Chain A
Amino acid sequence: MPTLIDKSKVPWWVSNVIVPLVNLMLALFVSGLFIFIAGENPIQAVKLIIYGSFGYIEGFAYTLYYTTNFIFTGLAFAVAFHCRLFNIGGEGQAYLGGLGVFLVAINFSFLPVPIVWLLAILGSVLFGALWALIPAYLQAYRGSHVVITTIMFNFIASALMVFLLVDVIRDTNQMGPQTVSVPKELWFPMFRDITQLFGIKTRYSPLNISFFLAILASFLVWFLIWRTKWGYEMRAVGHNTKAAVYAGISPKRNIIIAMLVSGALAGMLGVNEILGVHHRVIVNFPAGYGFTGIAVALMGRNHPIGIFLGAFLFGILYQGGSEVTFDMPNISRYMFVAVQGVIILFSGALENLFRPQIESFFVKRLNKESSV
């Protein structure tokens, strides 16, 4: 056992930068072992990941497109987590959020485009939040654990959406279960369109202006959590429910608020996917982004800046990963789901693995310097 040290002497950058980085390195090392077990060379895989995500302009645009999705779902998980709630229903909330976007875009297309966009974003927020409401209510008032109920709501969302896509809102001219496309003038401007304004021709990439929406959402979450009374109360409930109650803060109310905000943020993934990329609702468009948000938030220590970095890292892993799966037949894209699990393990559950050693190491070094 390392000797106990005075926590207040640990510089912030040791506990918030060095320790998370060490954890991340450990996670990536273990991930490398998995790639080795699967019969491929991890170093080669890293090279492919870096080339795929940074090597050419469209690849980098893809990286930022994935980053956009992970920012939304990472923020969603983080907001709930500040209230000590595990919203692992981001997947279902995003699915419903996409439905909200689509319904608004189809029914209000007679309005001016920017207004429809605004309404569509509100639609995603509303539908995502509503899908989180029942688990939130059950957690707050009946004590049903939100992990199980949100997972169940993912299954239920998936059944509901397949039903809607097959029987209700299906485009009957298409073979597969998908809706009609939203009117073309509502499609979000793409990265390609923007570079064209500057006279640079690029090929297709799904990156679109939703990226700015994600940045805006990050800022709003930061403001909500650290600069408003709501955020303060949520954190108080999350930190110590009993103390919060003594201070006159209602845990029930805050559980509901945190889950609604969380669901709304997850729902916004639908904006990127529907207005930006597919332009219609297709089966299972959230494709696991909701779950990745957990790893992103834990890695980013639930702070928007950390989440941005985490989302960017996962953007690199996803985009570079598709390069890897293309070149290495033994690596499936599910390998990167496993990598998420390892990152959650080391950045979340095992975050204290080497923390005492690292912190005492730095405290001793710094003390020595100051006494000299």
Chain B
Amino acid sequence: MEFISDIVSLLSATLRISTPLIFAAMAGLFAERSGVIDFGLEGKMLAAAFVAATGSYFLGSPWFGLLLAIVACVSLSLLHGFASVTHKGDQVVSCVAINILMIGLTTALAAAWFGQEGLTPTLNDEQRFFEITLPFADALRPVPIIGTIYSEIISGHYIFVYIAYTLVPIVYWIVFKTSFGLRLRAVGENPSAVDTAGIGVYSMRYKALMINGVLVAFAGAYLSTAINANFFREMSAGRGYLALAALIFGKWHPKTALLACLLFGFTDALQIRLQGVELPIIGVIPVQFIQALPYILTVILLAGFVGKAIAPRAIGQPYIKEG
């Protein structure tokens, strides 16, 4: 029985941990499908986490915090667009700038406003999102298997978790079934053809970046106003990069990117469970190696041992209108 409860909590943790990765990966999908590299997910996630926690603290509701986080992330996305779309600056440099700027600014502003370097005050219950128990979760609990899956694994998460998993089919539908999605993909593959067809390359890329900002804001707000009750320094801990790796490994496709996010989430959940546990034959693995697992996995996945990823063809190249 202990084995089953271990598995159940592991799966439940996987859903929870994958959530910010899914938001960020979907955000990255829009940007990269339109031909704009987004290594800046990490910095935007940090900005969102900081703004959400601060906004919620001052305004008293996590929804206001989320709203402000969206404003912050969309602004950063527009800044990225301003540098790399309008001024044709180097996209990777722009992302690195955003990431470093946000590591510094969030920590420094927390120090200036709250007196503690890189720490915002702990949010009370009203300033924080709460876990949702789905309808009938308690009634279904005794039912074998289905009851356990429903009430122990699926129920009892923050609203972000449910939004994230609903988001994936919606993103799929937008990107592959609507004319907007067709244009988006075309801009990332062959911008000059799209331009010839009378569709603005720049405006498509800006629209993609704005969607990107909205989505990544959810990832950050989830970190600081749902699973944690405050912002702390560099709390994104590389998740922006993991999400991007999941996107690349998922070949810029929502469904496979979701699977990659789940894989990362599972590794991370496993990592937490394995700390200090004595394994047969191997014994206790040093905690530092276990903590490094998601990062090592990222490198292995990116190495493409499971198949080569082909990026949108125009990715990273500024579009220069002729004539």
Contact = CB atoms under 8 A, between A and B. Distances in A.
Interface of A: 34, 37-40, 86, 88, 134-135, 138, 142-145, 147-149, 151-153, 155-156, 159-160, 162-163, 166-167, 291, 294-295, 298, 330-332, 334-342, 344-345, 348-353
Contacts of B94: 345, 348-350
Given A331-B112, A337-B108, A338-B108, A134 B241 contact: no
B96 A332 contact: no
A349 B99 CA distance: 13
Given A39-B112, A86-B96, A144-B303, A352 B89 contact: yes
B296 A341 contact: no
Contact of A339 (B79, B104, B238): B104
Given A38-B112, A152-B245, 6 more contacts: A38-B109, A145-B302, A148-B302, A156-B296, A337-B103, A345-B98
A160 to B, nearest CB: 7
B116 to A, nearest CB: 9
Contacts of B244: 148
A147 B90 contact: no
B117 interface: yes
A151 B42 CA distance: 11
A332 B117 CA distance: 7
B107 A337 contact: yes
Nearest to B309: A143
Contact of B288 (A144, A159, A338): A159
Q: Say what secondary structure dominates the interface of chain B.
A: helix
A295 B100 contact: yes
Contact of A351 (B89, B118, B248, B304): B89
B308 interface: yes
Contacts of B111: 38, 330-332, 334
B39 interface: yes
Contacts of A351: 89
Contact of A338 (B87, B105, B241, B245): B105
A352 B318 CA distance: 13
A152 B105 contact: no
B224 to A, nearest CB: 17
Contacts of A152: 238, 241, 245, 295-296, 298-299
B40 to A, nearest CB: 10
Contacts of B112: 37-40, 330-332
18 contacts: A86-B92, A142-B304, A145-B302, A148-B245, A151-B238, A152-B238, A294-B100, A295-B100, A330-B111, A335-B104, A338-B103, A338-B105, A341-B101, A341-B103, A348-B90, A350-B83, A351-B89, A352-B87
